[in-house]
């Protein structure tokens, strides 16, 4: 009983640990080209609206450009219910009162404006400074929406995970000051790993901590199907393995065409509507990069698994 009491007290005391991290030298720009770049990332490769707009506020099929990131999307995890914040410029419930550096720090280091470590849902730790600047610049153009989202809820298991396992992630390399788009492997790697988070779903992970536990791009990550408790999806193996690589025999044009086709499996969590907005050149760069990753033999099919017909 004494040990349990000590554990309970320790967990309680560690619920809102504060962390330090530098504020990136990022400031919102009024330059129309910079804002346009931020808008492209926001609606396309970065798929920000898929998490920062609540599905209950918009009927299925709503155009992304008609949605505002007023938050409230619920991640219904086994250990917690996590609600995304309002990132419109409202000063009471959004980011209107935050500095540009505070927003950039959250994106790069996974630390909230109050110093708390955030669950690692955003893949932007290694994003280049000029793209961080572009995103912050575009965010400053979004009109304010007053929407106070619910507080996050953690069950006992979630409180233990939060107390001991959730820490700021931060970059695992020195982020570039300026990335220059191009149809090449380096830029494709940057987009896939630091912007679009392709690695985040096409690599197996521990869904409790978010840690990668499988080879890069070998697939096999199980993802619950929203709205269908009797099914789940499994991410594809995107490595160039001759036998199990899903796109091994694809041409560059087939790769582009698949993105243009959008969502084909309704239960898929892949943000197809956002990814349809990728430019052809960016898709070519990602395709080039995927040809260079280490081939891993890992059969992941089928993409959709139905566990019950009830």
Give residue 310's pLDDT.
Answer: 52
Closest CA to 163 of 2, 6, 12: 12
Give residue 309's pLDDT.
Answer: 60
Q: Where are the beta strands (DSSP E) in the chain?
A: 74-76, 80-83, 153-154, 222-224, 231-234, 304-306
Closest CA to 17 of 137, 139, 110: 110
Residue 158, SS3 per DSSP: helix
Residue 3: φ, ψ to 5°: -65, -40
Give residue 115's pLDDT.
Answer: 95
Closest CA to 87 of 111, 66, 63, 103: 103
pTM comes to 0.93
Both tokens of residue 254?
């087939």
Residue 138: φ, ψ to 5°: -70, -40
Q: Tens digit of pLDDT per residue, the chain (310 long)? A: 889 999 999 999 999 999 999 999 999 999 999 999 999 999 999 999 999 998 788 877 788 888 999 999 998 888 999 999 999 999 999 999 999 999 999 999 999 999 999 988 888 999 999 999 999 999 999 999 999 999 999 999 999 999 998 999 899 999 999 999 999 999 999 999 999 999 999 999 987 677 889 999 999 999 988 778 889 999 999 999 999 999 999 999 999 999 999 999 988 989 999 999 999 999 999 999 999 999 999 999 789 998 876 5
* CA angle at 43 for the pair 166 and 114, rounded to the nearest 5°: 30
Give residue 1's pLDDT.
Answer: 87
Give residue 273's pLDDT.
Answer: 93
Report the 3 state secondary structure along 193-262: HHHCCHHHHHECECCCCCCECCCCCCECCEEECCCCCCEEEECCCCCCCCCCCCCCCCCHHHHHHHHHHC
Give the Cα separation of 291 and 289 in Å (integer).
Answer: 5
Q: Output the CA–CA distances (angstroms, integers) from residue 297 to 158, 214, 220, 246, 301, in the order listed.
A: 34, 12, 11, 11, 12
Give residue 211's pLDDT.
Answer: 81
Closest CA to 217 of 202, 229, 205: 202
């Amino acid at each position: 009983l004494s040990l349990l009491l000590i554990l309970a007290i320790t967990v309680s005391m560690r619920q809102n640990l504060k962390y330090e991290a530098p504020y990136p030298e990022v400031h919102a720009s009024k330059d129309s080209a910079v804002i346009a770049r931020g808008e492209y990332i926001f609606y396309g490769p970065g798929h920000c609206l898929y998490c920062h707009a609540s599905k209950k506020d918009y009927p299925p099929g709503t155009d992304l450009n008609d949605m505002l990131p007023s938050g409230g999307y619920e991640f219904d995890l086994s250990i917690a219910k996590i609600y995304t914040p309002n990132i419109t410029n409202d000063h009471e419930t959004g980011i209107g009162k935050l500095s540009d550096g505070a927003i950039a720090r959250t994106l790069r280091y996974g630390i909230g404006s109050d110093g708390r470590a955030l669950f690692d849902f955003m893949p932007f730790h290694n994003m280049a400074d000029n793209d961080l600047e572009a995103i912050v610049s575009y965010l400053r153009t979004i009109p304010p929406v007053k929407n106070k989202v619910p507080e996050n809820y953690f069950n006992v298991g979630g409180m233990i995970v939060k107390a001991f396992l959730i820490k700021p992630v931060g970059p695992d390399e020195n982020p570039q000051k300026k990335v220059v788009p191009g149809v090449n492997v380096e830029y494709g790697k940057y987009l896939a790993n630091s912007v679009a988070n392709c690695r985040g779903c096409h690599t197996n992970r521990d869904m409790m901590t978010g840690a990668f536990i499988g080879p890069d791009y070998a697939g096999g990550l199980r993802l619950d199907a929203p709205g269908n408790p009797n099914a789940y999806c499994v991410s594809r193996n995107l490595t160039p393995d001759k036998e199990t690589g899903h796109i091994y025999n694809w041409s560059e044009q087939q790769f582009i065409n698949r993105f243009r086709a959008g969502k084909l499996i309704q239960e898929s969590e892949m943000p197809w509507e956002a990814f349809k907005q990728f430019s052809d050149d960016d898709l070519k760069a990602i395709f080039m990069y995927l040809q260079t990753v280490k081939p891993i033999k890992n059969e992941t099919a089928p993409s959709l698994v139905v566990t019950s017909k009830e």
